[in-house]
Amino acid sequence: MAQLPILRYPDPRLHTVARPVERFDEDLRRLVADMFETMYAAHGIGLAATQVDRHVRVVVIDVSEERNQPLVLVNPDIVWMSPERVRSDEGCLSVPGIYDGVERAQAVRVEAHDAEGQRRTIEAEGLLAVCIQHELDHLLGKVFVEYLSPLKRNRIKAKLLKQQREEERERREPVRA
């Protein structure tokens, strides 16, 4: 297993629409394992393949406190959303340090495959439902900040670009003793 680099907003690759997985093979299982390792190392609860620059319809999630309930969704589709809505602060591994309120369906039903190709239906509510919707947005090339006002989105973009420039400058500058 290996940790994968996570793309950071406003990287344009985050807006790539993922294509369906066609082969349930060792490469897919390796991607899933690497995505879990990456997500756990980054202290996240969900990760879409798009975020690690793999543009296939794969999501990994674990919202458990103990980090022992891994969920794999391959080629997921939301087939039902509750009319009840919930607004909660969302964060994203691709938008580090930024949290803001997003409104989503309180509950969802998702049809997907697991990493072995077995079809499954998942009913989720609360945090798991929000996480599923957030990660499936990534597969459509959408980042949660796009739900925010243009003013907030531009401030976030400017802040993250400044952070990235500072990090690049630190990497280039020689260490002085």
The residue assigned the tokens 């629409």 is: 17
Q: Is 134 annotated as a binding residue?
A: yes
Q: Is 138 annotated as a binding residue?
A: yes
User: DSSP of 41-93, one letter per residue?
Assistant: HTT-SEEEGGGGT--BSEEEE---TTS---EEEEEEEEEEE-S-EEEEEEEET
Catalytic annotation present for 135: yes
Residue 153 tokens, joined: 């989105």
Q: Is 92 annotated as a binding residue?
A: yes
Which listed residue (37, 66, 135, 146) is catalytic? 135
Q: Where are the alpha helices (DSSP H) in the chain?
A: 26-41, 126-139, 150-172
Binding region: 92, 134, 138
The annotated binding site for Fe cation is made up of 92, 134, 138
Catalytic positions are 135
